[in-house]
């Protein structure tokens, strides 16, 4: 072998170089090839505003593991990458950047502002893609897409016009979630609910014509009172039968409102009387529709009160609340204020409390479109992992509302609706219309709104493959196979892709959704800027390498479960990489100048067959786990095999034979061939998890294949199934473990060799130990081995080690220098005598027992128990010497 590994493993020396090699050689690229079975994953498109965080790192590591695995299995594997334009997030970033230059968005035309957005995207939009490369992501970057590129934009316009013609997109006035800071509507899925401390303000509404009679209502938002158009009671509530149909004087206004009966009201909750504000509450909106109530908007887009609020007009909503409550108190209409903790909706982007209000917006009708998406999961056509996600999925689909898709932003896909300047006629069309169908004029203005970002990403599985054109890629790579994503965007994205796939393509966009949890800090807290507890994946990569980060993120990972990030675990992963590197270097050094040949079956020793059988079983088990998406379980098995069975056992066993190349070349050849063969297979099984180190070792170890990426995934083969040899070596391992435990307990240094007697009444067991002395002769630190039936020649003072079907004996005099050991034990006894006297003294001291903290007393009791146990052991050992 001419090539060799560097003396020490340095990820910085190999990672960028290897990634460039992979990309330059086009290993990530997939083209239509009908002779191969496709396997497709679509990358959840990160925002162009994005910076790689631990969630991205976990998500993309899992996808990369699957795509590398399938690529090695011979699939035509496509990992389709791309980025999302992120309407709100990008617009906020660009506005901030402009402010720093002294430019206000309001001073720019729409076209000028969009030019700034595209400039921003050009400068920063590719940042996260570069960072994903540092992680080792083997996505097909030649196919990279952007949600606002020409093809994806065409797909968006096509879907909008199709759904509009079908009657499933409409424009109407409905309650929406309004963000007063971003000044746009947002969907239900973009509203986070936070537990906030608030109050119930109990207010008396006077009954008109009945002096001194009031109806008491309770509200958490007194400022919306100006939009009240009724007070509702339950029709079965006997307390209020006589006032149904009467009118009430709305406090602090000159308006009167009716009392209506509606079963929406819960008799048992609060006072049983509910103020109805149709323009500012989604439930009140529905009540208002049933009773034909007026809809009065009283809050402006910036969360200030409008002219309908009278003297409070122009005040911020919370200033108005404070002033109004004071006025109600002065008028004697404020009954009481009760503390009340409740869920408040905030915008997930800027964390401003959203204001429900009636707005004319564009909506997608969901009642029909959601049905195939429900059925697809119910009948198993789409599998959600873990299966408990089904409940979350159906909870949302069962309570789905029409989707508000218009946003009052400039950056994004502009709605393809046109209004005639002369007669107001509206036409939905991708291209600007010609003559107005109503008045014949040709003066048009396009709708100023853009579409919700998720409208375009809902089409991602097929828009990236060329839809609406009937492309070869679309026919071959759609549907995708697996979607990997966090459980936190099931509503935002997963469900929308599913119903969009059924609607536009007539089939599900993927057959499996693999949900992962969040990466939390070591205390279990969500990583956030406000807590300052975020860990930058690039910092981890710089310090320990991408492979160590990847292994850390996936070890112990179970679908849907959150995980905690510990720096100690990254160090452990780096230590594992060092172990693999050093073991590989040792094997390569021994292969130097050797002409290897594949040994015949009878040339293989029992240990060779054992390790071949173990790596064979590992290939089967790891494949089964990966096919079930149990990535954490699979990598744990690979890790344990490499560290424990291969490095700590087989390499140590084989060393004896590799050192004797000249004495027994056939035996040395069998050991070296086995070492190389098992290492190659282990590297392949590890490759999807740790791609860089496995590539470097693989390409240095052999020259037949130029990359491990395209090497064949190990498959179980019956000819490597050696159950008898596995059982034999496990017997030998049990023996070594037992002897090591005894020597550790007795503090025997490794340099002190001992004679070993192995006794068994079972001839087959004796034969195992006789035939496999080379396996344990060095590992058990033996000077001489005798395998026999009975205890002939074994002294009474020999230390015994019980193992399955046999007992091993080590003469005590071989293990211990009696005089030195007696001296050491007597010193230990003196020390323990003093500690016992001190501890017993404290625990018999009433003052200590009465005044010390309970945990301090317990600590002392624990110490006493430990000292007593140690003393018993020391006395037992001293008794043996007598």
Write out the binding residues: 529
Question: What is the rounded CA–CA span in Å between residue 285 and residue 250?
Answer: 19
Spatial CA neighbour of 808 closest among 833, 843, 779, 839:
779
Phi first, then psi, for residue 721 (nearest 5°) are -95, 110
Token representation of residue 805: 């079907």
Spatial CA neighbour of 876 closest among 744, 746, 755, 748:
746
Neighbours of 368 (CB within 10 A): 12
CB 48 within 8 A of CB 453: no
Question: What is the rounded CA–CA span in Å between residue 677 and residue 690?
Answer: 19
Sign of CA dihedral 422, 423, 424, 428: negative
Residue 45: strand, helix, or coil: coil
Spatial CA neighbour of 719 closest among 637, 623, 634, 598:
598
Question: What is the rounded CA–CA span in Å between residue 699 and residue 492?
Answer: 43
Question: What is the rounded CA–CA span in Å between residue 818 and residue 820?
Answer: 6
What is the 3-class SS of 500-528, one letter each residue? HHHHHHCCCCCCEEEEECCEECCCCCECC
The position carrying tokens 């590129």 is: 149
Token representation of residue 760: 């068994």
Ranges of H-type helices in 313-382: 317-330, 371-378
CB 783 within 8 A of CB 616: no
Q: Backbone dihedral region of 389: left (phi > 0), alpha (psi from -120 to 50 degrees) or beta?
A: alpha
Question: What is the rounded CA–CA span in Å between residue 552 and residue 550?
Answer: 5
Please give the full DSSP string across 372-430, using - where no structure is assigned. HHHHHHHTTSSEEESTTHHHHHHHHHHT---EE-EES-SSSPBP-EEEETTT--EEE-S
Q: Which residues pair with 42 in a beta bridge?
A: 80
CB 313 within 8 A of CB 306: yes
Residues 6+ apart with CB under 8 A from 206: 213, 214, 248, 249, 251, 333
Spatial CA neighbour of 70 closest among 716, 704, 626, 473:
626
Binding residues for ATP are 529
The position carrying tokens 């479960």 is: 561
Residues 6+ apart with CB under 8 A from 147: 45, 82, 83, 84, 85, 453, 456, 457, 460
Spatial CA neighbour of 228 closest among 289, 275, 297:
275
Phi first, then psi, for residue 405 (nearest 5°) are -110, -5
Question: What is the rounded CA–CA span in Å between residue 460 and residue 32?
Answer: 19
Residue 364: strand, helix, or coil: strand
Spatial CA neighbour of 521 closest among 134, 137, 55, 199:
55
Please give the full DSSP string across 117-185, using - where no structure is assigned. HHHHHHHHTTHHHHHHHHHT----GGG-EETTSHHHHHHHHHHHHHHHHHT-EEEEEEEEEEETTTTEE
Residues 6+ apart with CB under 8 A from 865: none
Q: Backbone dihedral region of 338: left (phi > 0), alpha (psi from -120 to 50 degrees) or beta?
A: beta
Token representation of residue 853: 């903290």
């Amino acid at each position: 072998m001419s090539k060799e590994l560097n003396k020490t493993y340095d990820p910085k020396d190999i990672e960028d170089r290897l990634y460039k090699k992979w990309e330059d050689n086009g290993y990530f690229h997939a083209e239509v090839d009908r002779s191969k079975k496709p396997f497709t994953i679509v990358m959840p498109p990160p925002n162009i505003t994005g910076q790689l965080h631990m969630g991205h790192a976990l998500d993309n590591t899992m996808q990369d593991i699957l795509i590398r695995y399938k690529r090695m299995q011979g699939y035509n594997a496509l990992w389709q990458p791309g980025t999302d334009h992120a309407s709100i997030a990008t617009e906020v970033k660009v506005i901030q950047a402009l402010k720093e230059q002294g430019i206000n968005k309001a001073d720019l035309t729409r076209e000028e502002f969009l030019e700034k957005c595209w400039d921003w995207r050009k400068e920063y939009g590719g940042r996260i893609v570069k960072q994903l490369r540092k992680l080792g992501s083997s996505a097909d970057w030649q196919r990279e897409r952007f949600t606002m590129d020409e093809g994806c934009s065409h797909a968006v316009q096509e879907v909008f016009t199709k759904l509009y013609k079908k009657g499933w997109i409409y424009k109407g006035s409905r309650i929406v979630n309004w963000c007063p800071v971003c000044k746009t509507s947002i969907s239900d899925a973009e509203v986070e609910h936070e537990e906030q401390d608030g109050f119930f303000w109990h207010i008396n509404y006077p009954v008109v014509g009945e002096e001194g009679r009031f109806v008491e209502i309770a509200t958490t938002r007194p400022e919306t009172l100006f939009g009240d158009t009724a007070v509702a009671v339950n029709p079965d509530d006997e307390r209020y039968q006589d006032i149904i149909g009467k009118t009430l004087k709305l406090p602090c206004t000159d308006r009167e409102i009716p009392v209506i009966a509606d079963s929406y009201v819960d008799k048992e909750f609060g006072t049983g009387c509910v103020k109805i504000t149709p323009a500012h509450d989604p439930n009140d909106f529905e009540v208002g529709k049933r009773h034909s109530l007026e809809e009065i908007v009283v809050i402006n887009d910036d969360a200030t009160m409008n002219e309908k609020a009278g003297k409070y007009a122009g005040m911020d909503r919370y200033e108005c609340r404070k002033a109004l409550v004071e006025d109600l108190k002065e008028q004697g209409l404020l009954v009481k204020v009760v503390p009340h903790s409740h869920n408040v909706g905030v915008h997930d982007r800027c964390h401003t409390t959203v204001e429900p209000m009636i707005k004319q917006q564009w909506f997608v009708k969901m009642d029909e479109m959601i049905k195939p998406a429900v059925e697809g999961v119910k009948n198993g056509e789409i599998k959600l992992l873990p299966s408990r996600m089904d409940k979350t999925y159906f909870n949302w689909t069962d309570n789905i509302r029409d989707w508000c898709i218009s946003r009052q932003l400039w950056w994004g896909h502009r709605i393809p609706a046109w209004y005639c300047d002369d007669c107001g006629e509206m036409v939905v069309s991708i291209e600007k219309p010609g003559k107005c169908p109503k008045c014949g004029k040709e003066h048009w203005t396009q709708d100023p709104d853009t579409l919700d970002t998720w409208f375009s990403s809902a089409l991602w599985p097929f828009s990236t493959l060329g839809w609406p054109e009937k492309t070869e890629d679309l026919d071959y790579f759609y549907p995708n196979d697996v979607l990997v994503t966090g459980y936190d965007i099931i509503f935002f994205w997963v469900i929308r892709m599913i119903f969009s796939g059924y609607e536009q393509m007539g089939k599900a966009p993927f057959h499996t959704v693999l949900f992962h949890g969040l990466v939390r800090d070591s205390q279990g807290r969500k990583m956030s800027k406000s807590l300052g507890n975020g860990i930058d994946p690039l910092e981890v990569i710089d310090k320990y390498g991408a492979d160590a980060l990847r292994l850390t993120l996936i070890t112990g990972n179970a679908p849907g479960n959150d995980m905690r990030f510990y720096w100690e675990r990254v160090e452990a992963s780096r230590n594992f990489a060092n172990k693999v590197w050093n073991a590989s270097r040792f094997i390569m050094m021994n292969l130097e100048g050797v002409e290897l040949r594949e040994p015949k079956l009878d040339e293989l020793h029992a240990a060779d067959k054992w390790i071949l059988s173990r790596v064979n079983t590992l290939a089967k088990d790891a494949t089964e786990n990966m096919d079930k998406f149990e990535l954490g379980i699979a990598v744990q098995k690979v890790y344990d095999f490499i560290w424990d069975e291969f490095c700590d056992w087989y390499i140590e066993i084989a060393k004896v034979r590799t050192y004797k190349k000249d004495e027994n070349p056939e035996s040395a050849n069998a050991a070296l061939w086995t070492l190389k063969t098992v290492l190659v297979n282990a590297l392949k099984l590890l490759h999807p998890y740790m791609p860089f180190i496995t590539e470097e070792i693989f390409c240095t170890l052999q020259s037949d294949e130029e990359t491990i990426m395209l090497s064949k995934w190990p498959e179980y083969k019956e000819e490597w199934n050696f159950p008898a040899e596995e059982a034999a070596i496990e017997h030998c391992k049990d023996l070594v473990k037992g002897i090591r435990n005894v020597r550790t307990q007795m503090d025997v240094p490794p340099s002190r060799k001992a004679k070993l007697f192995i006794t068994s009444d079972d001839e087959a067991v004796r034969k195992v130990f006789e035939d496999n002395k080379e396996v344990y002769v060095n590992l058990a630190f033996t000077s001489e081995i005798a395998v026999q039936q009975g205890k002939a020649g074994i002294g009474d003072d020999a230390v015994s080690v019980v193992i399955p079907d046999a007992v091993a004996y080590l003469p005590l005099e071989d293990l211990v220098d009696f005089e030195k050991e007696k001296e050491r034990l007597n010193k230990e006894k003196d020390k323990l005598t003093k500690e016992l006297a001190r501890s017993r003294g404290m625990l018999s001291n009433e003052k200590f027992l009465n005044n010390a903290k309970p945990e301090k007393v317990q600590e002392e009791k624990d110490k006493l128990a430990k000292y007593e146990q140690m003393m018993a052991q020391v006395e037992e050992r001293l008794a043996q010497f007598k």
